[in-house]
Amino acid sequence: MKEFKLENGQKIASGFKTPDNYFDSLSAKVLEQIEQEKEAKVIPLYKRKKVISIAAAAAIFIAFIIPTANHYYKASKELDEATLETYLAYESNLNQYDLIKELDAKDIDKLNKNVALEEETLEDILATNPNIENLISE
């Protein structure tokens, strides 16, 4: 293999040329740009990320707490009528006579106002029910 010497090879002319007296005014231009950059306000990123992460954590915390708290408060305060009726019918030793004994005059008046049966409805119930004698005796 032939020895390659960098000094003896063909030189390729560069396509870049510096303007005349470019390096004489370069340091003045650089110093001028540095002084202008000192006036700019710098906001560090680590402080910004901390605020964003705290806000995101608070939003996630609230998103989990609201449905949970809402569920517990509603469930504990309200008693469903169907649940109460089912409990009294199947789980307790109460019968209809025990319930009637606990009613006072105001409760009976409320029941009379709320129950409005038409004659046709009564006739249909009595006609379709095979145990008419039991209904009459109760």
Domain ranges, ordered by start, for the chain: 81-137
Phi-psi region at 21: left, alpha or beta (left = phi > 0; alpha = psi -120 to 50):
left
Residue-averaged pLDDT of the chain: 77
- Over range 120-126, report the average pLDDT: 81
The pLDDT-based confidence of 38 (bands split at 50, 70, 90) is: low
| pLDDT tens track for 2-17 | 777 777 767 777 778 8
Reported as half-sphere exposure (CB side, CA atoms, 13 A), residue 31 has a value of 4
By the 8 A CB rule, do 135 and 129 touch?
A: yes
- Over range 66-93, report the average pLDDT: 74
Can you give the pTM of this predicted structure? 0.24
By the 8 A CB rule, do 94 and 88 touch?
A: yes
pLDDT value of residue 59: 92
76 vs 58 pLDDT, higher one: 58
pLDDT value of residue 60: 93
- Over range 73-84, report the average pLDDT: 68
Q: Tokens 């789980």 appear where?
A: 91
